[in-house]
């Protein structure tokens, strides 16, 4: 094979390699092998010294022609590959601005809100008024006016978030009883749903922020029978079925006599679980006849009026209703949880 044929063969081989090169790295490898300082074509030119001058001139011209051709092909192939990559990127990032929007994501009310609204509807149908009260309360409304003296355990500093100015985050919705009576006077049938705060150790059944629903009826000759009637109506409406309840005597400064109404744990059907602390029962609401002292603090004459009151754990009720065994889920903001309602 003479020199010219050798050069032509190398040329064809490199052109074929270049056609197969599908990455910039592969193209660069071809360039180094063909045109690099130690490349195949340079090797050939090293032997030119042995050639007669006439042949050397022809071979040199031929070699330069091949080098130029390969250089042009290398550049063209590189540009080709880059534009393919750009096309692919454009295709993958393509956005149709004329496509219709997916529309608003269907949301839903928080499970506690759903239970709250249902109970509001029920009590409104029974002639009750729905009242609201401040979440930042004074010591007077949160404690004193509810007949909770300064030495009562409910005033324990550990239990309450105090503000620097002496006010506090209300620990229950009961202050609205006093505010409601002050503003509207007797006779009064009211409920007050809302957010309350406790400086609690957080665990599956305790949260620092949760919801209660206060209820009160003040009229003439209100008795425990009234109280039991409304509580039964409330619970059968909320659970849409018969639930087992028990009434125990309980001490709460703002009622006299006071009761603790327990509901048999719906999550474990009374067998025992973390929510009911393995007891099978869940304290659902304290209730009783309004303590005359509270009426007096509210500017109402206890000789003329009396009433019943109850405080419902709205969050706890939602847990029972939906079989949720961890109270922390409610305020976790976890959409996987919330989208189930």
Closest residue by Cα to residue 215 from 130, 292, 153: 130
Nearer to Zn ion by Cβ, of 188 and 273: the residue is: 273
Q: Kindly state the smallest distance separating residue 282's Cβ from Zn ion, in Å.
A: 7
Nearer to Zn ion by Cβ, of 63 and 265: the residue is: 265
Alpha carbon 78 to its chain centroid, in Å, reads: 50
Q: Kindly state the smallest distance separating residue 132's Cβ from Zn ion, in Å.
A: 32
- What is the rounded CA–CA span in Å between residue 81 and residue 84? 5
List the beta strands (DSSP E) in 250-331: 255-264, 281-290, 306-313
Angle, nearest 10°, between helix axes 224-239 and 111-125? Answer: 130
Nearer to Zn ion by Cβ, of 210 and 281: the residue is: 281
- What is the rounded CA–CA span in Å between residue 322 and residue 313? 14
Q: Kindly state the smallest distance separating residue 160's Cβ from Zn ion, in Å.
A: 28
Nearer to Zn ion by Cβ, of 30 and 235: the residue is: 235
Q: Kindly state the smallest distance separating residue 330's Cβ from Zn ion, in Å.
A: 18
Q: Kindly state the smallest distance separating residue 315's Cβ from Zn ion, in Å.
A: 16
Question: For residue 283, what are its two tokens?
Answer: 């304290």
Nearer to Zn ion by Cβ, of 204 and 292: the residue is: 204
Instruction: Using CB under 5 A, list all residues that contact Zn ion.
Output: 265, 267-268, 273, 276
Q: What is the gyration radius of the CA atoms in the chain, in angstroms?
A: 42
Nearer to Zn ion by Cβ, of 227 and 276: the residue is: 276
- What is the rounded CA–CA span in Å between residue 254 and residue 256? 7
Q: Kindly state the smallest distance separating residue 322's Cβ from Zn ion, in Å.
A: 14
Q: Kindly state the smallest distance separating residue 267's Cβ from Zn ion, in Å.
A: 5
Strands 168-169 and 188-197: unpaired
- What is the rounded CA–CA span in Å between residue 81 and residue 76? 9
Taking CB atoms, the residue at the shortest distance from Zn ion is: 265
Element (H, E) at 195: strand 188-197
Q: Kindly state the smallest distance separating residue 317's Cβ from Zn ion, in Å.
A: 14
Nearer to Zn ion by Cβ, of 217 and 276: the residue is: 276
Closest residue by Cα to residue 206 from 248, 147, 158, 268: 158
- What is the rounded CA–CA span in Å between residue 175 and residue 132? 10
Nearer to Zn ion by Cβ, of 181 and 317: the residue is: 317
Longest dimension (CA), the chain: 136
- What is the rounded CA–CA span in Å between residue 216 and residue 176? 10
């Amino acid at each position: 094979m003479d020199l010219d044929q050798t050069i032509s063969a190398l040329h064809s081989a490199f052109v074929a390699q270049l056609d197969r090169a599908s990455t910039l790295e592969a193209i660069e490898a071809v360039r180094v092998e063909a045109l690099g300082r130690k490349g195949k074509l340079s090797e050939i030119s090293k032997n030119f010294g042995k050639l007669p001058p006439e042949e050397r001139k022809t071979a040199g011209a031929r070699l330069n022609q091949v080098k130029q051709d390969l250089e042009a092909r290398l550049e063209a192939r590189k540009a080709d590959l880059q534009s393919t990559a750009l096309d692919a990127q454009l295709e993958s990032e393509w956005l149709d601005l004329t496509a219709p929007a997916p529309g608003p994501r269907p949301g839903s009310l928080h499970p506690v809100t759903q239970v709250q609204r249902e109970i509001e509807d029920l009590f409104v149908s029974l002639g009750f008024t729905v009242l609201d009260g401040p979440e930042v309360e004074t010591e007077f409304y949160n404690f004193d006016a509810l007949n909770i003296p300064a030495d009562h355990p409910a005033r324990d500093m550990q239990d309450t978030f105090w503000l620097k100015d002496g006010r506090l985050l209300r620990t229950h919705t009961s202050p609205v009883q006093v505010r409601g009576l002050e503003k509207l006077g007797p006779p009064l049938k009211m409920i007050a749903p809302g957010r309350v705060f406790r400086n609690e150790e957080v665990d599956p059944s305790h949260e620092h922020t949760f919801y209660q629903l206060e209820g009160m009826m003040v009229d003439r000759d209100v008795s425990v029978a009234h109280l039991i009637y409304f509580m039964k109506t409330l619970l059968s409406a909320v659970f849409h079925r018969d639930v087992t309840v028990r009434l125990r005597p309980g001490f709460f400064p703002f009622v006299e006599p006071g009761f603790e109404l327990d509901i048999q744990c719906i999550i474990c059907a009374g067998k025992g679980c973390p929510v009911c602390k393995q007891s099978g029962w869940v304290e659902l609401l304290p209730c009783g006849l309004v303590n005359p002292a509270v009426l007096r603090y509210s500017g109402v004459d206890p000789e003329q009026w009396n009433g019943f009151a109850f405080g419902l754990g709205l969050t706890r009720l939602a847990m029972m209703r939906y079989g949720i065994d961890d109270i922390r889920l409610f305020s976790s903001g976890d959409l996987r949880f919330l989208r189930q309602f």
